[in-house]
Structure 1
Amino acid sequence: MRNLDITTLRSFMAVADNGGVTRAAGFLHLTQSAVSMQLKRLEELLGLQLLDRSGRTIALTASGEQLLAYARRMVTLNDEVIGRLTDQVYEGEIMLGVPYDIVYPAIPQVLQRFNAAYPRVRVQLVASNTRQLKEQFSKGDCDLILTTESTSTDDSETLAERPLRWIGAPGGSAWRQRPLPMAFCRFCTFRPKAVERLEQSGIAWDMVVETESDRTIEVTVAADLAVQTMIDGTEPQHLVQIDHGGSLPELPVQKINLYGAEATGSHIVAELSVYLRQAFSSVTTPLAPAQWHAA
């Protein structure tokens, strides 16, 4: 009878979620050699090669990808059983602030996974703009916040860096119009960057919608009445990145920063920070989903 070990499966998941053995070891508070040994024992137990180590990057084999799905379910079930049937149950509420434009696709996955691991902890999501979230965080109204900024600060941790993209309606033509019709929220931090690049390129523009409602922006852009900008990979399914072939200027890189992870003394808040790091590092890697750096 062969039995899978939850600790070993957790290490395997950490390698996948954190981009390689080195980062996984740091996340697990283990040495690299310990993590590598666990992976080797797992492969020997199953008689399968789970990681392709032939190139400069580590990639999951087909068997590794299949095991990863099972591992997530088994670890989640293990944590749920321990949480529900022992006295070591974390309870309480965490206030998490996230800018509207990066809620999807990462945050629903984070909330789902975190709830499975800590079912008695309520995560209250506060969706707003970066400026208001930083104000709330400074007042202690939020335990953790994510921001979209052009720079990082001493009290923040940069989780990812991604370029801004021009976003429009599928098959739309609004981006061809001059002046270029644009729709932005009043306090959007992307707005001045887009305007600056347009003016540097000598492209006339017109702010046809200026509102505090992100839903109004989405509807306007989906109707092909304007364009907007979003961080690469965060656009909703009903909008697309505009293939303008150089007709619009390239936009700058934006940082996704995390505030509160280091300052808190709460273990459960620190755990939520781990889930956020994993989600945004996997969303923003330029490699294929099944590939990670070895270090």
Structure 2
Amino acid sequence: MRNLDLTTLRSFVAVADSGGVTRAAGFLNLTQSAVSMQLKRLEEMLGLALLDRSGRGVALTPAGEQLLKYARRMVEMNDEIYARLTRQDWEGEIVLGVPHDIVYPVIPRIMKRMQRDYPRVRVQLISSYTSDLKEQFARGAIDVILTTESEPAESGEALLEVPLRWFGAPDGTAWRSKPLRIAFSRRCGFRPVAIGEMERAGLDWELAVDSEMDRTIEVSVSADLAVTPILEGHAPQHFEMIPQGVLPDLGMQKICLYGSGAKPQIIEPLQEMLRSEFCTLRRRPELAAE
């Protein structure tokens, strides 16, 4: 029997996730040529072409797509075994704060990876508004936070820039109403942005829903009673983006990372995972909607 090389499988997964050999080499701390050689060796071992190199980027062939799910499982199992048997000193608790609207798709993957790689580290997830998360972070109640802002503060790091869009019910007509009916959460950071753009455009509008609960906003919009601003790629599946140009443009927002200097041994790996995942999202924006 022939054995697959985990090193080549790890490089293959990294290339598939990052969308290119150069970026994957950076994640793996290897040279580009080393990663390319590992991919070539894997293809020769299997006698199959795994990557389609005919375009500008790197795409998977049908055989590559089939291999990817198995490669992930093998790499994850290897890492889980290694972590559980050797990383006995990595333990503690991290409090991670994330706004409601960007929990998916990145945070579940991060929580799973942290549990796999650092089984003695407990990650407590807090979901709230950016303003609340920044206040808790400032007084040391949260170790690491993600925020949605036009620009990060001096201590923050922008991970991803995303368009802020108008959303309504599928095939809905609320966006045609005059005055325009808007649903806002009282503490939503997008609220002043949207109001400012509507005022600048001279658009007649009214507050249809003013609630502390995101679920109330979601129900109202899905019932076609109002529209609301949401980051593109992060809307619920039962929302539909309103065609661009019919309502005022809302510009861009940035997903930002803030981390404290405490507990660096267990916080820095979490921050690196967040950077890696959002970098992948930037390269493959279609993943945001999954």
**Aligned-pair distance for 1:87?**
5.2
Q: Which amino acid aligns with 1:238?
A: H
Q: 2:274 aligns with which of 273, 276, 294?
A: 276
Backbone CA RMSD of aligned residues: 2.1
- Structure 1 residue ranges without an equivalent (≥5): 290-295
Query: 1-side partners of 2:211 and 2:28: how far apart?
Result: 44
Query: 1-side partners of 2:222 and 2:89: how far apart?
Result: 45
Query: 1-side partners of 2:128 and 2:286: how far apart?
Result: 31
Q: Which moved more, 1:118-127 or 1:249-258?
A: 118-127
- Residues 116-174 of structure 1: CA deviation (Å, up to 9, x unaligned): 33333221111111111112222222221111111134422222111011111122211
Change (3 A) 1:26 1:87: closer
* 2:208 matched residue in structure 1: 208
Q: Which moved more, 1:211-220 or 1:15-24?
A: 15-24
Assess if the C-alpha contact under 8 Å between 2:88 and 2:120 holds in 1. Answer: no
**Aligned-pair distance for 1:185?**
1.5
* 2:118 matched residue in structure 1: 118
Equivalenced residue count is: 287
Query: 2-side partners of 1:153 and 1:21: how far apart?
Result: 33
Q: Secondary structure at the match of 1:184?
A: strand
1:109 aligns with 2:109: yes
Query: 1-side partners of 2:145 and 2:172: how far apart?
Result: 34
- Structure 2 residue ranges without an equivalent (≥5): none
* 1:193 matched residue in structure 2: 193
Q: Secondary structure at the match of 1:57?
A: coil
Q: Which has the higher contact order (CA 8 A, sep 6+)?
A: 1
Assess if the C-alpha contact under 8 Å between 1:178 and 1:203 holds in 2. Answer: no
Q: Which moved more, 1:8-17 or 1:164-173?
A: 8-17
Change (3 A) 1:273 1:161: same
* 1:52 matched residue in structure 2: 52
Q: TM-score if structure 1 supplies the norm length?
A: 0.89
Query: 2-side partners of 1:98 and 1:288: how far apart?
Result: 21
**More helix as a share of residues:** 2
* 2:184 matched residue in structure 1: 184
* 2:131 matched residue in structure 1: 131
Query: 2-side partners of 1:250 and 1:132: how far apart?
Result: 26
Query: 1-side partners of 2:70 and 2:29: how far apart?
Result: 23
* 1:247 matched residue in structure 2: 246
* 1:161 matched residue in structure 2: 161
Identity of aligned residues (%): 60
Q: TM-score if structure 2 supplies the norm length?
A: 0.90
Q: Which amino acid aligns with 1:253?
A: M
- Residues 67-123 of structure 1: CA deviation (Å, up to 9, x unaligned): 221111111111122222345463222111101111123222322333233333221
